[in-house]
Each structure stands twice: as C-alpha cells, then as structure tokens.
Structure 1
Amino acid sequence: MTEADSRAPYRSRIAGAGRHLPVTHLTTDELMASTRHRTHIDLERLTGIHERRVSVGDEDSYTLATSAALDCLRRSGRPADTLDVVINCSISKCRKGFIHWIEPTMSIAVAGEIGATKAMTFDLSNACAGMLSGVTVLNNMIRQGVVERGLVVSGEYISQLGRNAARHVRNILSRELASLTLGDAGAALLLERAPERAGGIRLAGFTTLAGHSRLCVGYTVAGEPEARMFTKARAIHKAATAAIPPLLQEVLDTVGIGLGEVDHVITHQTSARAIRKGMAHVTAVLGDAPRHEAVISVDRYGNTASTTHTVALIDELAAGRIQPGETIALIALASGLEIGVVLFTADEQLLEQSWAPSPRTQP
C-alpha cells in the first residue's frame, strides 16, 4: 500500500452522496411477532435494531438504486451526462418482484434511467463490501486519468431474506438469525477528480480471508420466494475482529497518521453490540482511539448490506457532525471474508450540499 498522491498523477474525492429508503417501517417487535415458532429471542436487545425500512413489493433493487443515483446527482449538482462510468455494486439484482436480472447488467439499466448516456457501465459484486469495492476501483481509475467522474450505486432489496428466516428460526443458535437484521435501501456515491488543496480519498485497501468463505452463504431454496442466508455469526465476527486491526494499522501507517487522528469511523452496520465490541477490540490492540465513537445507524435501518456506509454517512452529514478537513474511515466487513478500509478527507463540495430529504427520498 502506498498513499494515493504518490502513486498516480491525480487524486479523487467523494463529491456527492445519495440514498433512497422505502416508506415502510418494520419494527423488530413486528418482525419477531411474525415468526412461525415461539423463539423467546429479544432481537432488539441482542442487536440494538429497533426498526428497518422494507419494500412491500413497491420497490426493488433497480428502483432503489435509480432513486439513490438521482438523489446523489441532485445534491451534488452534477449532470448525469458528465458521468464517465456507472458501477452497480448490489448483491441483489431484483427487478419486477423477485426476478433477478443477469443480463443486461443492472448498471446499464440504471445509467439509462438517470440519463448517463455517455457512461461506460459494469457491475461489481463483492457481498456487503460491494460499494466500497466499487469506490476502490473507481478511485484508481480517476487517479490514473482513465476517467474524471463516476458513480458507484447499489440497491439492496434483501428484506425477503428476513421474511423467509421468520418461518425457520427457532432459537438464538439458528444460522438464519442474522437474516432478521436486514433492511432495504438504495445508495450512491459520486467520485470525481479532485482539484488542488481539496479533500479527497487518501487510501483504499482491501484484503480477502478466503478460508472463512463458508461462514455466510446465501442461495435459493425450492418452493420459497427469493433466497435464504445461513450465517455463523459468532465465528464471522471473531474472524473479522481479529483481521481489522492489522489492516487498519497498515492503512494508517501508509498515510502517516494514528488512529487518534481519525475523526469518524463508519463500519459495516451489522448490530450495535457487534460494532461497539469490535471497536473496543481495535482500540485496545492499536492503543489509540478515533476522536468520536463509531457511527451507529443500524438501530434505525438494520443491516442494508452494501449500502450501509453511505446510508450512515448521509445521517452524519445531515446532522452536521462532519466538518471540512475531517478524516473519515469507512470499514467494510463482508462475507468472503472481505475486509477493507477507505480513508478520505471531507471537503466543502460534499459538506455544502443540502442534506434535507429529497422529494424522491423518504426521511
């Protein structure tokens, strides 16, 4: 790993962010009341999740992604026809219900709908690390001068995994318990070539621990809508927690800062307890702590897979908790096992945008 500025002639910045949340709120109590078996599980106490947003059939991966992309363009003031590339990074690729579209790609459908007629398009899937993987790829394309501006987008219609799990979960040891934490969301990040002295992406680094790839798997099951997901939650949390400190330390050493110089940390939103426990381990191992506690948005939105970092980032921007020049670390934890860090400095282009709810984005 080498700091971005020393590897290529250009630097990229996050110049816009957008999201789209379904209208319907589903509380954890409502979801647990729908289980076929009496589980005696206090899921809200266990995970910290009070509610999540879910599609009731009126939205799908495509509409969520498209609405988030339009929201991002509106906030950033960037016309769609100035995009050089559109990268779709969703796990789910549902259109018109539970139909998965393989070809043509979701990225070309989204680009066509938003008017990005000049953009090259491709899909990139990397489980819950998808969007940050897309950011890493686009960041490198911009740094190398291949493109000047692009959009990383995702729409996750995954709440049906929770509805399927509600028919099978019997106790706290169920491998489908994690499916009950899921929510739906669309998200988009706009990256562009950064002008001199503007904030930008300082480094993006990933590693894969393929020996843990079977800890979380998802597949379709005959006779059931969409799919089911099976997770060894404790094992995957243990493996991820052990792997994060050395990767994060490598990132920090590369850019020449300590963890105490990072202002905000946004991790993948699995559960409030897991986030707090994981960050306590990181700070203990590194002997330092970020300036603010790790961001938690999972209590309001659930685990929205590849969109979680953007959903949480927009909450922080809307609340005015991020200031120009502050350093933000986005930490990806995904099935695979995939661990990644995107470290960037917030600049005024991002912070001066209006973060009031969009007419197309539910508050």
Structure 2
Amino acid sequence: MGTTRWLVMEPPDGQSCAPFRARLAGLGRHLPATHLSTSELMSRTRHHTHIDLERLTGIRDRRVSVGDEDSYSLATAAAFDCLDRAGRPGASVDVVISCSITKFHGGLTQWLEPTMSRFVANAIGARTGLTFDLSNACAGMLTGVTVANNWIRQGSAERALVVSGEYISQLGHNAARHVRNILSRELASLTLGDAGAALLLERAPAESDGIKVAGFTTVADYSRLCVGYPKGHDPGARMFTDARGIHRAALSNTPLLLHEVLDAAGISMHDIDHVITHQTSARAIRKGMAEVSASFGESPRHDAVITVDRYGNTASTTHTVALIEELESGHIRPGETIALIALASGLEIGVLLVTLDEELVAQYGHGN
C-alpha cells in the first residue's frame, strides 16, 4: 500500500496515549408510524415511468412522516429512547451533537438558529451541556461519533449524545412529480424514508469494549454527484443524484481506506464479524461487499447487514437504525467486531470499528 495515509483518525490503541475509551452506552431510534410501500409510492408518480423500483433497489417499504413528525420530534424521541435504555438521565450528558441533514421544526423550513442540538438538549434536560450541529450529508452521525470519540478518549468529555432526525421523505414526494424514467437524476430520492436515531457515548477505561478505530476522509472530486437544493415551487427541496457515478466512486476508493483502517487496528477482513454500510439499496450493498471481499481475498464472518428493504434510505440515521435491528434480532454478541462504513455525498467515506459490551447488548435481552 505504501505510506500514503488518506484517513484522518486517532492513533490505534497500541500507539495512542489516550487514557480512555469511548464505549457505546445506549442506542435509540424512532420510526414514524406511517408505512409507505414502494408500490404505493410509484403509483403516485405523475408520469408513467414503467420503473420496477422494488426489483431495482430491494426496497419494499419505508416509514414516512405525514406532517405529524419532523426532524426535531424524530430526534428527540430517539434521544429519549436511547437514554431510557442506557438508564442515564439527560442532565448527565456533557455534549449534544445534532447531525441531521434536515433541520425541520414545525414545517418544511430549515431551522438553523437556535440550533437543533440546543432544542434536543433542552428537551432531554441537558440544559448546561455543550451543543452544536454538525452536518456531513448521510455520514453525519458517524462524523459526530468520530468527534465525540476523540473528545472522550482525551478526557475532554465524559458523556456525549449524537443524535439525528431525518424528515427527508419529502424529497421523494417531490421526485414523484418529476421522475420520467430510470435515468432520472431524482430516482434516488424515491428510496428515502424517515427516522430518528441517537447514540450515547461515555468515558470508560482504555481496555474496555468500545470504539477501536474511527477515521474519515473526503474525496472531493465527486462532490457534484449528489446535490440538494430548493427548486421551483416544490416544498422543501429536491435532490439530484448520479447514483451510478457515486457507486463507482465508492467502489474505487473504499477498499483502499478499509485496508488502512484494518492495518491500523492490526486485524484482517475476516476478523470483522458484522458490516453495516450506508443503506442505499440492497443490490448496491451486496455488489459493493462482493467487490470489497474480492479485493481483500476474504470476507467478513457474516453477510453485510441489510435493512433498507423495510426502512428505505434514512440518510444519516441508517447505521443506527440497522445496528438496533441487529441487536433486537439477537445477531450481535458482546465483544464482536462491527465495522460501520459511511458512504455519503461529498464523497465522504468513514469507517468505525466498534465492539459492544455485555451491558449494552443486554439492553436488548441478548447479553450472552
């Protein structure tokens, strides 16, 4: 591989003087009550597209707000779920980081000041905690976790809540008015669903289970492959994506970065028990993991986690939604190595290696 380093990350444990580890103390999610099937969504398109979106993406269903929930309510509900499972009061949180793309509160207007993180902190009782918003497309939550991880490892914070509420399905409703065929740059908008998610990180001894390695990079050559902005009279925004271009860019760059992370951690691909990638489409995940495994000459111990088939692409919340799904299903054991891989417009690529301890796994009734 040479000596070039692409990822910005903390030194691995064997080379670090950091006195602490950031352990995951709680996970929370909140899904809107309303289901929207792919067949129902496609029946609403203005033009007769003849697109079999379910076959193309593997997405059967997603949860959507029908105006009854927004970015704030989704994020806050997930935060309460997270704190309740962890058995931690909101007042014990030092830092609240909000990482959503959408910042809707009371309508389809982005709310930037006061920040979404301050709204959530006030709601959970963390009124004296440090708050800030961090937006990094669909990699937002894992970027927030990376920041919180560095602070906790160095002793600058004791407990941090990383939260996101994505009321993003309005992009799909807008796209349904404009998509004409499979080549439409708004086709990816039809894969979106809504969700809230929260992760609680807290200080633990350096030898504890928790985040082993966290690294991020930006490959800015591909920054125009997916952009979103207000356009015309459609409410909220519209998103324009070169899905094939992003997929090609991700496949050409991710193996190199994974090699770097695994080298830093001193493990092989087969030492990874579970892989959770950004949930774009079932086909893209399977194809991407097949190519990554071919690049390494070996595979993770289990197939990549897929939840996009029933929740859609929930933007920055996808990894947390999927991780909770795996915990509730009893698929993750304490101490197993999980790779969370962020692939987001930008092009942002992030990798987190994390192990969950018995206390956290037991929150879902599967402690041993």
CA distance in 2, matches of 1:196, 1:301: 36
Paired position in structure 1 for 2:39: 29
Q: Is the 8 A contact 1:4 1:201 kept in 2?
A: no
CA distance in 2, matches of 1:224, 1:4: 50
Paired position in structure 2 for 1:203: 213
3-state secondary structure, aligned to 1:236: helix
CA offset digits 1:148-204 (Å, max 9, x no partner): 111000000000000000000000000000000000000000001123643110000
Select 1:6's aligned residue among 2, 15, 24. 15
Q: By how many angstroms is 1:355 displaced?
A: 6.5
Q: Is the 8 A contact 1:265 1:295 kept in 2?
A: yes
Q: Is the 8 A contact 1:10 1:143 kept in 2?
A: yes
CA distance in 2, matches of 1:52, 1:153: 20
Q: Is the 8 A contact 2:20 2:206 kept in 1?
A: no
3-state secondary structure, aligned to 1:214: coil
Paired position in structure 2 for 1:38: 48
Paired position in structure 2 for 1:278: 288
CA distance in 1, matches of 2:311, 2:252: 26
CA distance in 2, matches of 1:198, 1:256: 17
Pick which of 48-57 and 92-101 moved more: 92-101
Q: Is the 8 A contact 1:51 1:302 kept in 2?
A: yes
Pick which of 6-15 and 290-299 moved more: 6-15
Q: Is the 8 A contact 1:5 1:202 kept in 2?
A: no
Give the paired residue count: 356
CA distance in 1, matches of 2:334, 2:21: 17
2:62 is aligned with 1:52: yes
Paired position in structure 2 for 1:153: 163
Paired position in structure 1 for 2:255: 245
3-state secondary structure, aligned to 1:19: strand
2:136 is aligned with 1:136: no
Which letter does structure 2 place at the counterpart of 1:159? S
Q: By how many angstroms is 1:212 displaced?
A: 0.2
Paired position in structure 1 for 2:302: 292
Pick which of 325-334 and 344-353 moved more: 344-353
Which letter does structure 1 place at the counterpart of 2:12? E
Q: Is the 8 A contact 1:5 1:11 kept in 2?
A: no
Matches within 5 A, 1:95-114: 95-114=105-124
Which letter does structure 2 place at the counterpart of 1:275? I
Which letter does structure 2 place at the counterpart of 1:122? F
Q: By how many angstroms is 1:6 displaced?
A: 3.4
CA distance in 2, matches of 1:109, 1:232: 34
CA distance in 2, matches of 1:341, 1:294: 14
Q: By how many angstroms is 1:223 displaced?
A: 1.1
3-state secondary structure, aligned to 1:279: helix
3-state secondary structure, aligned to 1:277: helix
Paired position in structure 2 for 1:353: 363
CA distance in 1, matches of 2:43, 2:139: 31
CA offset digits 1:117-137 (Å, max 9, x no partner): 221000000000000000000
3-state secondary structure, aligned to 1:199: coil
CA distance in 2, matches of 1:13, 1:242: 32
Matches within 5 A, 1:281-320: 281-320=291-330
Q: Is the 8 A contact 1:75 1:355 kept in 2?
A: no
Structure 2 unaligned segments of length 5 or more: list them: 1-8
Which letter does structure 2 place at the counterpart of 1:315? E
Q: Is the 8 A contact 1:87 1:151 kept in 2?
A: yes
3-state secondary structure, aligned to 2:363: coil
CA distance in 1, matches of 2:101, 2:13: 28
CA distance in 2, matches of 1:199, 1:248: 21
Q: By how many angstroms is 1:99 displaced?
A: 1.9
Which letter does structure 1 place at the counterpart of 2:84? R
CA gap of 1:234–1:51, structure 2 versus 1, over 3 A, is same
Select 2:71's aligned residue among 58, 61, 65. 61
CA distance in 1, matches of 2:180, 2:232: 21
3-state secondary structure, aligned to 1:206: strand
CA distance in 1, matches of 2:328, 2:345: 30
CA distance in 1, matches of 2:296, 2:316: 27
Paired position in structure 2 for 1:231: 241
Pick which of 94-103 and 326-335 moved more: 94-103
CA distance in 1, matches of 2:151, 2:93: 13
Paired position in structure 1 for 2:86: 76
CA gap of 1:6–1:12, structure 2 versus 1, over 3 A, is farther
CA distance in 1, matches of 2:165, 2:143: 15
Q: Is the 8 A contact 2:21 2:208 kept in 1?
A: no
CA distance in 2, matches of 1:279, 1:97: 38
CA gap of 1:17–1:50, structure 2 versus 1, over 3 A, is same
**Identity of counterpart residues, as a percentage?**
71
CA distance in 1, matches of 2:126, 2:306: 33
Paired position in structure 2 for 1:361: none
